[in-house]
């Protein structure tokens, strides 16, 4: 018999070791951490179970951490929502958005550009080509600034912005502006990051602006 035959036999006869339980104490295998030391099958199984428990504990700790982070972000989005509900004008919505993102979300640089619905196109500093690009986004863009114009949306802070998030602002399917978040940290906003909350923030801001302009 070769090793595969033995393994096959044990798989097809699960009661074998139960019927010959003395083998657990008689057979030995190398220690998983100390190669020169031999231990019984039962002890080896105990080590395997402990390793699995450690992995499960690490996974549970990670899930708890993610849950706490999501709760924290949800609380910040809720506070932003309440502030936007209390804002009585486009100007106050703008100020509420900038203050919330800078103070509560710790985003150092915030840009809000509007070119339709709540503003005249000629009053906007976004080119027609950039507007078409923003309109084509179906999800927030996260990553490095793609052009000098994009960086310019942060005013004097433009030279310091190394990563950003761009959120199209839409009302009834019409893109009328964008919300831009910028950071000097290259990895603050990166292409693979989740955009669930960015989407929600963009929708909240768009709805508040469109409602005040009506």
Q: For 159-174, how does the pLDDT look when each residue is reduced to its tens digit (9 = 90+)?
A: 899 999 999 999 999 9
Report residue 101: phi and psi, to 5°.
Answer: -70, -35
Indicate the pLDDT class of residue 13, thresholds 50, 70 and 90: confident
Inter-residue contact 93 to 208 (CB < 8 Å): yes
Question: Which residue in 131, 197, 196, 193 sits closest to 168, CA to CA?
Answer: 131
Instruction: Give Cα 173 distance to the centre of its chain.
Output: 26
CA–CA separation, 63 vs 99, rounded Å?
31
23-52 pLDDT tens trace: 766 666 666 666 567 666 667 778 788 889
Residue 180 pLDDT > 90 = yes
Residue 68 pLDDT > 60 = yes
SS (H, E, C) 138-150: CCCEEECCCCHHH
Q: Is the pTM of this model over 0.75?
A: no
Rounded to 10°, the helix 41-86/196-213 angle is 10
In terms of phi and psi (left: phi > 0; alpha: psi -120 to 50; beta: otherwise), the region of 158 is alpha
Please give the domain boundaries of the chain with CATH numbers for all domains.
Answer: 1-86 (no CATH), 89-213 (3.30.450.40)
Rounded to 10°, the helix 41-86/90-103 angle is 150
């Amino acid at each position: 018999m070769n090793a595969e035959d033995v393994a096959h036999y044990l798989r097809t006869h699960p009661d074998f070791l139960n019927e010959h339980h003395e083998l657990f104490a008689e057979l030995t295998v190398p220690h998983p951490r100390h190669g020169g030391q031999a231990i019984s099958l039962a002890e080896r199984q105990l080590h395997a179970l402990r390793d699995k428990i450690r992995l499960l504990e690490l996974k549970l700790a990670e899930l708890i951490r993610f849950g706490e982070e999501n709760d924290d972000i949800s609380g910040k989005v809720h506070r932003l929502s309440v502030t936007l509900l209390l804002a009585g004008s486009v100007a106050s919505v703008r100020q509420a958005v900038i203050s919330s993102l800078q103070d509560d979300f710790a985003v150092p640089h915030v840009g809000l550009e509007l070119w339709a619905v709540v503003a005249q196109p000629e009053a906007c500093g976004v080119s027609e080509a950039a507007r078409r690009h923003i309109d084509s986004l179906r999800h927030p863009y996260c990553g490095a600034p793609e052009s000098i114009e994009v960086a310019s949306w942060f005013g004097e802070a433009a030279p310091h912005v190394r990563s950003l998030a761009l959120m199209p602002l839409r009302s009834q399917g019409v893109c009328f502006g964008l919300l831009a978040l910028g950071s000097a940290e290259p990895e603050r906003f990166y292409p693979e990051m989740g955009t669930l909350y960015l989407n929600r923030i963009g929708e909240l801001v768009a709805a508040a602006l469109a409602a005040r302009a009506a």
